[in-house]
Chains A and B, each alone.
Chain A
Amino acid sequence: MSFLQINNVWKSYGQAQILERLNLSIDQGEFISMVGASGCGKSTLLKMILGSEVATKGEISLEGKPLVAEPDAERGIVFQKYSVFPHMTVLQNVMVADEFTKSFLLGRCFGSARKQVKQKAESFIDAVGLTPAINKYPHQLSGGMQQRLAIAQALMKAPKILLLDEPFGALDPGIRADMHVLIRDIWKKNNLTIFMVTHDIKEGFELGSRVWVFDKVRHDPQAPMAYGAQVTYDLKLDTDKTPDIAALTQKIAVN
Chain B
Amino acid sequence: MKRLMNIEPSRFWRTFLTIVPFIVIIALYWSASDARLAENPNDKLLPSFTQISSAIDRMAFTENKRTGEYLFWQDSAASLYRILLGITISAAIGLIIGLINGLLPGVRAGLSPLVTIASLVPPMAILPILFITFGLDELAKVMLIIIGTAPVIIRDMQSQVMQIPKEQLIKAQTLGASTWLVTIRVVLPQIMPKLLAAVRLSLGAAWLFLIAAEAIAAQEGLGYRIFLVRRYMAMDVILPYVAWITVLAFAMDFSLKKMSQVCFPWYHHQEASK
Which residues of A are at the interface with B, using a C-beta cutoff of 8 A?
Answer: 50, 52, 70-73, 75-77, 79, 81-87, 96-97, 99-101, 104, 106-108, 137, 139-140, 150, 153-154, 156-157, 159
Contact = CB atoms under 8 A, between A and B. Distances in A.
Contact of B171 (A139, A140, A150): A150
Contact of B173 (A70, A84, A96, A139): A70
Residue of B176, B177, B178, B273 with most partner-chain A CB within 10 A: B176
21 contacts: A71-B170, A77-B174, A81-B167, A83-B171, A85-B190, A86-B270, A87-B264, A87-B266, A97-B176, A100-B172, A100-B175, A100-B176, A104-B181, A107-B177, A107-B181, A139-B273, A140-B269, A153-B175, A154-B174, A154-B175, A157-B174
Q: Is the interface of B mostly helix, strand, loop or mixed?
A: helix
Given A87-B267, A107-B185, A100 B171 contact: no
9 nearest A-B pairs in the assembled complex, by CB-CB distance: A82-B165, A71-B173, A82-B167, A73-B176, A101-B176, A100-B177, A107-B181, A97-B175, A107-B185
A131 to B, nearest CB: 20
A89 to B, nearest CB: 8
A154 B181 CA distance: 17
A137 B167 contact: no
A76 B190 contact: no
A83 B168 CA distance: 5
A137 B184 contact: no
A137 B268 CA distance: 12
Interface of B: 165, 167-168, 170-178, 180-181, 184-186, 189-190, 264, 266-267, 269-270, 273
Nearest to A97: B175
Contacts, number: 84
Given A87-B267, A107-B184, A72 B174 contact: yes
Contacts of B167: 79, 81-83
A100 B181 contact: yes
A139 B185 CA distance: 18
Q: Is the interface of A mostly helix, strand, loop or mixed?
A: loop
B170 A86 contact: no
